[in-house]
Amino acid sequence: MHELNIYDIDGQELEVQDATQERLNHVVQEQRDAIDILIRFLYRLPINKAVESVKDEYQSMAFYWFYMSIFTFKSVLVLVERGYYHEANILSRNLIEVLVKMRYFEKYPDQLTEENRNNSKPETRGKRYIKFKTMFDKILPGYYERYKWMLSNPAHGGTGAILFKFDIKSATDIEADKGVVYNENQATCILNSLNVYLLGYIRFYKYLYPGVIDNFSEDLKSQLATVEATLLRRFESHIELKGGENDWHVDARKVFEIS
């Protein structure tokens, strides 16, 4: 029996990438366009020369969060294209956590100041004073249980992680993938979530910086409108595919319907 080696996996990655481009290139390109919009957003974010207020502190952190998210979004897309669905799912967790943090601390900026102060002290560093469940319950009511099962559980090696690399027919009939293989169900599952997260980040940017949006060039405004409409249309087409709105769609709307 041939033993899989690292060079086999290198070749498998390219095969999966070819399959992804053939089957899902239209979806991947839509998300690349959305990430590109986030990059262009970054260059137009207001930058504080000094942090003199709670608002200044939040804006400084928001710049950091938006900046880092660009590379996380791109990394998830690269992993999906090459068949690393479990790893892409783990990184996706970071995207929803950061979006929830941004929205939570925008509403409660004083708590961000306290959180940063605690993180700066060796004796309190590492202690979570505001639990993620608290943030989720305030910002995305009812979403936390879905987050735990779909993202947190697999990231911590829970049983949910097995589904990414094993074909489970029964308790005694389980077969592991032979390396990196193309799996359209897993790829589209992650891309559907990424679509929602991208829409959430774009919508929150618009909510947070309406004056910046107003000063966009007409060309950039047009690109933004096209990207936003495309992401929303992709979400709505998924509803049609499933024969109507289900619980996942109801929860997903909370991510990008921002007020």
What size, in residues, is the chain? 259
Q: So what's the pLDDT on residue 127?
A: 66
> Tokens 């897309």 — which residue?
77
The C-alpha atoms of residue 198 and residue 37 are separated, in whole angstroms, by: 10
CA distances from 93 to 88, 110, 152 (A): 9, 25, 7
What is the extent of the structural domain holding 28?
7-163+173-256
Please compute, for residue 233, the number of CA atoms within 13 A of its CA located in the half-sphere on the CB side: 9
Residue 236 lies in a domain: yes
Residue 1 lies in a domain: no
The C-alpha atoms of residue 37 and residue 50 are separated, in whole angstroms, by: 27
The C-alpha atoms of residue 238 and residue 10 are separated, in whole angstroms, by: 32
The C-alpha atoms of residue 33 and residue 25 are separated, in whole angstroms, by: 12
pLDDT in tens, 17-45: 999 999 999 999 999 999 999 999 999 98
Which regions in the chain score pLDDT beneath 70? 118-128
pTM of the model: 0.93
Q: So what's the pLDDT on residue 124?
A: 60
> Tokens 């956590």 — which residue?
97
Alpha helices in the chain (DSSP H): 6-42, 54-81, 85-107, 109-119, 132-139, 144-147, 153-155, 184-208, 210-214, 218-241, 247-256
Residue 168 lies in a domain: no
pLDDT in tens, 112-125: 888 777 666 666 65
**Chain-centre distance for alpha carbon 29:** 16
Domains contained in the chain, number:
1
Residue 2 lies in a domain: no
